[in-house]
Amino acid sequence: MSRRHSDRSRAPASAVPAGSATPPGSAGPPTAPRPASRALSWSARIQALPGWLQLVSCGLLVAIGTAAWIWVNAPPIPRPDLAGADPLVVLAIEDAEARVRMTPESAEAWGDLGLVLYAQSYGREAVECFRRATALDERTWRWPFFAAAASSHLAPADGVTLMEEAIRRDPKAVWPRLLRAEWLVTLGRGDEARADYESLLAVSPEHARARLGLARLLLASGDPDGPLAALGTALDHPSTRRAARQFAAQVAARQGKRDEAERLLTAAAALPADTRWPEDPLAAELPLRRVGKRSRINLVSQMESAGAVAEADALTRRIEEENPEIYLFVEGRLRLEKGEAAAAEKAFRRGVELDPKAVEIRFQLGRAIALQGRLAEAAAVYREVLELEPGYGPGWLELGRCLIQSDRVTALAALESAVAYMPASDEARQELARVRRGSHQEDQAPPAVQEPPRP
């Protein structure tokens, strides 16, 4: 080994080991810091960056901190009991929940979750989501409108109260006033309903549904001439013309004009069924968000009503292959159409066994039992339907019909609930009027229904 090499390999006696602090009084140069102190603070690192990078880094830190604060402090997402729910329903709800978690300050995200829940009949949770959307977006009337609509299926009086916010935000919007007026009628608050109808018609004087509603209200109040004058465009609109003629026949019969009443009824029978109201926000939004078997059953019915029989049959076959309980539902409906109520009952019972939460199948089971004259048993089935879905208007209607002979008071309460949940249903109104006439209540205003009776 050369001398030069040995000198390089020998450390001087006075050298300070690397990484140690320089002793006090030492003339040697300062050494590097200990490894534990090598990590600079974030502020020091940012200060070492160029100016524009400092701005970008600070912005990122603020954004991350804000997102973390929102994530931690975001209100809890209302979650319904999804045990046994259709997998497609669960998936749709979870997708909407994920959008809320990603953008918890978005009114649209909360509102969309509310619509998904409302479309699947989870009303209480939907109302909570619509309330959150209402708080986040203080301009639009849509979210308080949907909150009121969803709440009305739980308690009509609550829907009336919530709708006030939608009207305050846009006094000229048609649908908040229209629905509130219809709910007020069912609650026996006719003066308030009339004020809403008249305010609406001052803005939209040709609105046929409002005209028909006002005409009905005037007839109930005992006005002899106002109802027919109020009908106006309702006699010609495709969504009201049949119902308007039936109503005009009722007015003529009360006035003793039997020939006129018969003429109007004949004219109404010759018309096609009244169409759905085209601008209804509920009809526009909810069908788009219905998923699962229930949505597909409704779609089959709509296809059949529209005359698309071949398309309805093809969809039915696909549904039957995937869901045997739907096959039984369709079989039961066909048996009912043929008048074979006992065979229909068997099919519906098997369908309920496969899907105990299927509201439509259980409802049809009640119909099949009622058609066989077992009204008490059918009423029990309708109560089960209403336990599953308290706002199911057809269930209240059929429950009322089953109880007319055995418990007229409860029957009236059920029929009033049917009208409250289906304010546009002429069938429910006519059934209620018929039972009231039998109870000598024809000229009385509807009693207040603060809360529908428990099923």
| Residue 363: both structure tokens together | 């409802």
| Residue 253: both structure tokens together | 């019969």
> Class of 374-455 per CATH?
mainly alpha
Stretches where the chain sits below pLDDT 50 are: 1-32, 34-39, 42, 67-72, 440-455
CATH number of 198-280: 1.25.40
Q: Which three-class secondary structure state does DSSP give residue 160?
A: helix
Buried b (16+ CB within 10 A) or exposed e, 295-324: bbbebbeebeeeeeeeebeebbeebbeebe
| Distance separating alpha carbons of residues 453 and 409, to the nearest angstrom | 11
Tell which CATH classification among 1.10.3260.10, 1.25.40.10, 2.40.170.20, 3.20.20.370 matches the domain 81-170.
1.25.40.10
CATH number of 290-365: 1.25.40
pLDDT at 170: 95
pLDDT at 454: 45
pLDDT at 371: 96
pLDDT at 53: 53
pLDDT at 147: 97
| Distance separating alpha carbons of residues 11 and 19, to the nearest angstrom | 15
> 211 with 201: CB under 8 angstroms?
yes
pLDDT at 26: 43
Q: How many CB atoms lie within 10 A of CB 335?
A: 19
| Distance separating alpha carbons of residues 196 and 191, to the nearest angstrom | 9
Segments making up each domain of the chain, as ranges: 81-170, 198-280, 290-365, 374-455
pLDDT at 4: 41
The dihedrals phi and psi of 23, each to the nearest 5 degrees, come to -60, 150
pLDDT at 6: 41
> In sequence order, what are the residues at sequence separation of 6 or more whose Cβ sits closer than 8 angstroms to the Cβ of residue 34?
19
pLDDT at 402: 96
81-170 and 198-280 agree in CATH topology: yes
CA distances from 393 to 60, 153, 183, 357, 421 (A): 53, 9, 14, 17, 5
pLDDT at 49: 55
